[in-house]
Structure 1
């Protein structure tokens, strides 16, 4: 800003800087704002110079963070000033203070257009800068053709054309549907022949945006882009001012190569050969130097070239060269360069032909795993995980296990998960896999999820040759004085099932096995005790002939826990104690665990799904999926089908866990003392209220904080009925059940109820229950969708898409694809109201259960009355407002017929539920009613609304309604909204609310009489 000659502005800035504290600054700003407001009121007395000075001050105050609610008109008026100093101030301040929807901008459109099509280049640049900064829809519709004409006009100076290209880019990004770019392929090709690099760089940015939406229309630009690269990288035909540390226009090289990546291939052999020659030159000419700025520029070009090489699927020789270059990068001392080398080498893993070449750098990558920088360690781990196969799995997994003991806690869970997946995928033999998992649990038990030891149980159970070996190995670990609780669970389970295979080995008699396991009992949590009790029962079963001493010890343990407060432990203790007296029959009752059905590991399946998720970073997407940024919380009911809590069941659902696993396929539950596989169950018919109590706290500050609801009581009062219904449904195969899923209750009634209240059920069918809890504040709404799975099998292929109307800005958090059995998912939804409208948002929801695919489309209660705030107005406030809003379109009146007959008391209650405050005593007629409210939106902010209802005591099916507000659109929409409610929506029964007492006869001077005259 040129402040020369404006002494008052300089003094004001000095005063602000000399303030000792915030309070002094605020007082000085308030004083200045008052002075400016007074000056602007006396507009005739202010010269253009003074207006410019005061507008500069307003901008400075705004930049300090203070709200400025006046002076906008003065700033816009300066745009039309004939002199440059005033026009410059007008353009700058307008672009800073006003958003794209501000009404004052419409006043400036003609002036801005005249500057754009005029001959003054300085004014053209100011106007283009304003249009580009604001980028509003009205600007795009009115000015885009003129900006396009400027760009392709060769008579304009390069400075103007460059700004025109950037302005057009902004308008296209903001309003692609408004911009007319049909037939622009030839024009863009011509722009790529431009000699001026400033215009060429700006045009290339525009081309990248156009290609991102439709590359098919711009094939003619492909050879031109290759020629631009040749000109820069090979011929170096670049002016000195566009050379950065000896690199010809690196930013243009990057943009050009990015544009080429939007084309699927380069078919012309000459063009392809020229392009690869340029890429070869870039690869050969890039090296690490001491100058940081040159490194940054050259590496930006290099890594974009690597991305283009991979995109074009270049020859293996060039791929090898890329890997060799990256190998140099991961060996340098500079951490940023090492990070970039590791990251790009991970991307290179997509190319199958270079994986063997990447393995040559395995030692250096393993060294990076111990780097002081955690970011580099993570990239090294991702790369090791991606490059692992049968040939190097042992070495990589052993390195990960060795590093695990000294790794940061932030990385241990990721290390454990990846080591487990690699060990399972590439195990040369199952005994090595068991060794790896046991070491994993021993070194980092806190970071090993239950899914991992569940998988070991499945392998050992399904492979007889592995059972003896696994029992011996866990026997060694359980001998240690202190082991992790996960190791206790795994060891107890395996020794309970297979310790009899070790009976002839020293130290492995039933009594000794029981002794070493029982030593761990005092150290474990309540969730592990049921597994230990099952192990004791199994040991007792395998002890033949019975050992009286051992039997007495185990029975004493069972007796101790028969009165345990935990229902699961108590039930097992009682049942095992009773079963132990069955003698030989115990062998049949506590039979050995049957083999699990052969299926793919849940961890590997999750990893493969993550790898297929994108073609860009296949090796590092697993971690992103495990650390999903969804705000959705899952609350799981861990009870089995019989309604009894099963603490020790092998359920592959752990919330929050590294993966959402299909529990119907992989869960196992305890039955008769033995762990057995459960098959998927059809849905249960009782309508369970999974939403629980929706009246808990919900904050609207910042992002939604979805809270875990109390565990739903799914079997309340249904202990017998639940089992019977579940068993009856289990008899019929899923395929034989009806494929037509009918909702429970009326969807329309649920929607209308939620229009009047902020929490409740939106939709329900035999499988799922969807509820809403909302909080509204001004134009902001914060909702939480509760998706409750009512069944003992998961809901899969869950998808939720919000279809918002144009007046609402809505953002829904990520919804998980699987909802576990008897679980509830909470998905926050943010809503911002932009302008008045009665259009309704729609939730397009779908899920799959067995053969059923259910796809309801549900209206969301984001209706107009949610953005109303009740307000009580006094006669002193009401009458001046009512008089000022005179006639259409600010005040609309209509006779409404077909109204549901209701007493005035009930209508007052209905209006209160719509957030319209009934104001008693304002209307002298006892058959009339006055209501007021405040409407909030991004456009209108706070807008007072006044409503008068005149009823006919002889005919309650009709009334006359008058609605008034300061916004014509709001007046119309509010009138139509109230009309719809009165005519079509059933009124819920409510307790009577206070009604205005009958008015007394009034004198002509009474405000009520005045109101009657005004209406």
Structure 2
């Protein structure tokens, strides 16, 4: 007992509290001890019954995977083994116990034995019954499974033989692997036992089971492996042995015979003989949707027509049915076939019967319509098939057939099924149109006779006619009559007709209101559902007002079927009449507590629409946020629900609706957002993203997180989910991820930067929409840290991009380089690379900015000129590259000649003026030269002629080139050539005219919205989306989180925004009294004046240095503010200019005054101040630019600012987004507006900036 217990303790020691995925005995570490126990139990079993019982127990226990159950089974096994050994050792008591136990289980073992045999027999029978046809397809041809040749007269069991060989081979592979694994297990056991018993006494070491006996234990397995290797060798030899020649000859002969048999069979089919393949073809039938609409006669003739023969009666039937012929004249020239005369007679009889049927049908049709109509010849296919419409066996049709007038009404088709069948077999569109016209005439006649027996069938046919696109308006009243019927089937068809034939603009709709009201109070819930469904589809504004009370009452119904339909009707009501939304607030709150998913889905839809129509309802429904959170949590954590499960997710439609409503309720409310944070995180982490349904829920979750006031961690997780979407294989998911990231990149740029590589991979996607969105997102990710990497990737994409991307791509690359360039040389190299790759797709502003950059970097002018020279020499097809190179080379030719060309390895190569002029002149005659290119080239070579580095010979050559273009047909080129040629006659004056231009003013290039449709090389001014370049010239709004620029005064900022030139100095702001005094003058003069400009008050000379205006009396401003014509003000005597003497010469005209900029306080409350600063430009009358500034004077900031403005209808207002919706203390945020109005227009102005005591009152 001690040794047995010790063995159990050692065996159970390595067990751990885990649940293996495989049966415990099959784990390599415990396989041998478990099998050892099993073998010993079988060896020590005293009787056959106990032996069999041990086998049965092992069959049950070997599938255990639980550690606890395995321990129980092992303890029981070792207990049995101990009992067996003690009984075999001579314990009489245990021997008697075992014999008694053997007699007890003897009958049970016999039952188990027969059950075991029955199970094996059933398995064998199942294999025989469902034995697959083995053709070798699932197994790849290998050296051990060579495909057998297919030939005629194959053995009967060839497939079975192939299957045997394959299964035997697979079984040998399993045995081979099992033997190797067993040997490896024994080796590990030997090593483990040797390590364990290394420190034991010698007496115990002698009891080792494995140590030192490895060869003895593995001898049997090695012998089996040797036999398997011999079998593998025989298979390889058999596979390498070629097929005998006689077998290959038999295969060729069988193939030839088969081809001959197929050819003979085809010839027999053509002759009309019946073969096996022909019988198979004739047994085939048309598709089910066609077969269901065919009569028995049609089926019989169709089977005859499918015969391959083209002669005799088969040919006649084929011609009647319009089937094709391989030889169309075969049936007419046949003379050797028997019974030809009989067949011709049959054909003549068929034709005569067809004529009689057509005459009869036309007569019936004329009798129904009441007037004669031209005879319509039905196609032969219809008449041969005898398609006479008959009554159906339905109860309604049987009543109609008993009616005495049934022979006169509905003469063509008496049910919709007959009409569909006849319409389906028409051959041409004209036949279909004729059938619809005749059927419509018959239905109209039946309506006139007020025949209620046929009303149901006629309305059903009329709806089918309406679906075909034919007019059916004459059945509207009949639909109303069916609605008034007490029968449910009539109501259902009537309401269907009303929804199809009526809309909310029909006058007949007023007659439906009473029927809807009656049916909404019906005792049958399905009748109520029909009324609600019809109301939700066609309700007008008047009907909504009339039935709103009924809808409100049905929202409180106890029936869930009615409540969910009533909620949808309430949705229709508030869409048509938003004023009635107040009536449904309380009912909507009650519906949100409903447990039915359908009711809750419609209730959430109703509440969402109410909030979107009127945001004032937000406060009413924010209390429902905990309820929504609880419902969403139950959907996420609930188990499997077959009623609402979609791909393993419980009711994803309801989850999406709840998330959308939570997005509306949590926007701008930190408390509600805090309540949603936990459940949103749970949904984002627990939803399966491998299914499309889960991705839709995750997408809505992301939108909700980004819309509400969520935590920073939750926002980062939402952006990470969008990053995972980018790796999805579905294009739609990737598109919505990119589109959403474009919107949220300004919220957390660092979080989006983590997915930069995946975003750049999307640039190589095959879907053009994904490439466009990825490109837009790449623009937004560029900053000082990654500008080199991203610009390099964008340049690589530019090489392979489509033409529609190149214009915007070149613009954004150049703008990013201008804004974030680490140094000037990198900036120049980037623009040069853009010009080389897509010079035909570069905007003029980019080209101008590049020239300004070169002019302001004298240390890189030689480098830039040499790079442009080499680029132009390699490629002259890029227009912008040609223009930039021509300008730079012409302007800095002496630098290029003196310093030479800088090669790619930074070595200087000498160049002459002749080579430069040869290159420029060659572009004039190139096929890529256009009108603008020639202008630049002429100007460039003319400038070169004035440089000291240009020789006299080359100057003469330049003069000859200019002389050639003095007679060109292009007027601008001719004018330039003549003017440039005349400069050569001016001597020293030419040097001054053609000297190097001073560097132009360096300013930021702000393009606004890049248009991808602007033609290349266009010189005409084109306005952007804002309609002009004034508002474009304003500075870009500051972004949150970016470092602020150096502190400047307000006037400096305004001067930079509005483009004032020259240096500005800081000045004190004008006093409030001066602003109030000039307020009316500034506002009324915004859009210009129709009066004499000399009578207006003079403007200060400069905005930045304008002195305070002296106090002066002005006319009554109220009279001009409300008058129909603008009032002009004359300067006061103190400000009037001095009078000049009569003999004094007239003073020189003064320079135009700079625009006067005055800030007006529009709002000042709760520590928030909003000022408006308008600006006008005399060169562009009718345009006013307004700058709104937001400042906070207190210690607390302001967030969620939404600034709105309105103008009269005669004016147009355009607003740019606010720089930041949150204003921190001491910071200033801006928003820009642009107002356009006709010059001289006068509109009423509401202004509240005058002093309180202006009218002399107390307030």
Please report the TM-score for the alignment, with normalisation by the length of structure 1: 0.60
Contact 1:664–1:794 (Cα < 8 Å) also in 2: no
1:17 equivalent in alignment to 2:424: yes
Work out which of the residue numbers 562, 565, 570 in structure 2 matches 1:168: 570
Shift in Å, 1:274: 4.0
Shift in Å, 1:118: 3.5
- Matches of 2:617 and 2:393, distance apart in 1: 49
- Matches of 1:284 and 1:569, distance apart in 2: 69
- Matches of 1:207 and 1:227, distance apart in 2: 14
The structure with higher relative contact order (CA 8 Å, sep 6+) is 1
Contact 1:450–1:652 (Cα < 8 Å) also in 2: no
- Higher strand fraction (1 or 2): 1
Work out which of the residue numbers 676, 691, 707 in structure 2 matches 1:311: 707
1:515 equivalent in alignment to 2:909: no
1:526 equivalent in alignment to 2:935: no
Shift in Å, 1:102: 0.9
Shift in Å, 1:736: 9.5
- Matches of 2:686 and 2:467, distance apart in 1: 46
1:182 equivalent in alignment to 2:582: yes
- Higher helix fraction (1 or 2): 2
- Matches of 2:480 and 2:1149, distance apart in 1: 72
Shift in Å, 1:91: 0.9
CA shift in 2, pair 1:317/1:846, >3 Å:
closer
Residue of structure 2 equivalent to 1:142: 546
Deviations 1:236-259 (A, max 9, x none): 468642232332222122112212
Work out which of the residue numbers 193, 201, 206 in structure 1 matches 2:593: 193
Work out which of the residue numbers 917, 942, 946 in structure 2 matches 1:537: 942
Aligned ranges 1:783-798 → 2 under 5 Å: none
Residues paired across the two proteins, number: 665
Residue of structure 1 equivalent to 2:727: 331
Residue of structure 1 equivalent to 2:650: 248
Aligned ranges 1:863-1012 → 2 under 5 Å: none
- Matches of 1:411 and 1:730, distance apart in 2: 49
Aligned ranges 1:575-724 → 2 under 5 Å: 575-603=979-1007, 606-607=1008-1009, 626=1011, 653-654=1021-1022, 662=1029
Work out which of the residue numbers 430, 434, 459 in structure 2 matches 1:55: 459
Deviations 1:725-780 (A, max 9, x none): xxx9996447599xxxxxxxxxxxxxxxxxxxxxxxxxxxxxxxxxxxxxxxxxxx
| Larger radius of gyration between Structure 1 and Structure 2 | 2
1:281 equivalent in alignment to 2:682: yes
SS in 1 for 2:1236: strand
- Matches of 1:378 and 1:665, distance apart in 2: 24
- Matches of 1:61 and 1:125, distance apart in 2: 26
Residue of structure 2 equivalent to 1:31: 438
Residue of structure 1 equivalent to 2:271: none
Residue of structure 2 equivalent to 1:449: 843
CA shift in 2, pair 1:104/1:797, >3 Å:
farther
Deviations 1:821-842 (A, max 9, x none): xxxxxxxxxxxxxxxxxxxxxx
CA shift in 2, pair 1:265/1:232, >3 Å:
closer
- Matches of 2:827 and 2:716, distance apart in 1: 33
Shift in Å, 1:598: 4.1
Contact 2:1183–2:1235 (Cα < 8 Å) also in 1: no
Aligned ranges 1:799-814 → 2 under 5 Å: none
Deviations 1:83-103 (A, max 9, x none): 212221211101111121111
Work out which of the residue numbers 614, 617, 637 in structure 2 matches 1:217: 617
SS in 1 for 2:932: coil
Deviations 1:19-53 (A, max 9, x none): 1121110000000011111112222xx02x41121
SS in 2 for 1:500: helix
Give me the CA root mean square deviation.
Answer: 4.0
SS in 2 for 1:600: coil
Unaligned runs of 5+ in 1: 290-294, 608-621, 629-633, 637-646, 667-676, 686-727, 738-788, 805-811, 819-844, 858-1015
Work out which of the residue numbers 464, 481, 501 in structure 1 matches 2:858: 464
CA shift in 2, pair 1:75/1:664, >3 Å:
closer
Residue of structure 2 equivalent to 1:560: 964
Shift in Å, 1:398: 0.7
Aligned ranges 1:427-506 → 2 under 5 Å: 427-506=821-900
Residue of structure 1 equivalent to 2:664: 262
- Matches of 1:143 and 1:228, distance apart in 2: 30
- Matches of 1:192 and 1:536, distance apart in 2: 80
Unaligned runs of 5+ in 2: 1-391, 398-413, 901-909, 1034-1058, 1062-1086, 1091-1147, 1158-1176, 1187-1204, 1217-1233, 1245-1259
Contact 1:562–1:570 (Cα < 8 Å) also in 2: yes
- Matches of 1:472 and 1:520, distance apart in 2: 17
Residue of structure 1 equivalent to 2:631: 231
CA shift in 2, pair 1:466/1:665, >3 Å:
farther
SS in 2 for 1:369: helix
- Matches of 1:328 and 1:59, distance apart in 2: 49
- Matches of 1:803 and 1:104, distance apart in 2: 38
- Matches of 1:124 and 1:234, distance apart in 2: 32
Contact 2:706–2:718 (Cα < 8 Å) also in 1: no
CA shift in 2, pair 1:579/1:344, >3 Å:
same
- Matches of 1:22 and 1:790, distance apart in 2: 68
CA shift in 2, pair 1:660/1:445, >3 Å:
farther
SS in 1 for 2:424: helix
Deviations 1:153-199 (A, max 9, x none): 143x11111111111112322332xx412264443222211122211
- Matches of 2:581 and 2:933, distance apart in 1: 67
Residue of structure 2 equivalent to 1:572: 976
Residue of structure 1 equivalent to 2:517: 113
Shift in Å, 1:338: 3.4
CA shift in 2, pair 1:791/1:91, >3 Å:
farther
Contact 2:1088–2:1182 (Cα < 8 Å) also in 1: no
- Matches of 1:240 and 1:665, distance apart in 2: 58
Residue of structure 1 equivalent to 2:560: 158
- Matches of 1:106 and 1:683, distance apart in 2: 55
CA shift in 2, pair 1:66/1:406, >3 Å:
same
SS in 2 for 1:100: coil
Deviations 1:449-505 (A, max 9, x none): 333212212222344344333222212212215441221111111122222222312
Deviations 1:392-434 (A, max 9, x none): 1111111111122222334333332332232222211232222
Shift in Å, 1:55: 1.4
Aligned ranges 1:391-402 → 2 under 5 Å: 391-402=785-796
Residue of structure 1 equivalent to 2:138: none
Contact 1:846–1:855 (Cα < 8 Å) also in 2: no
Shift in Å, 1:322: 2.6
- Matches of 1:104 and 1:432, distance apart in 2: 75
Residue of structure 1 equivalent to 2:697: 301
- Matches of 2:497 and 2:632, distance apart in 1: 39
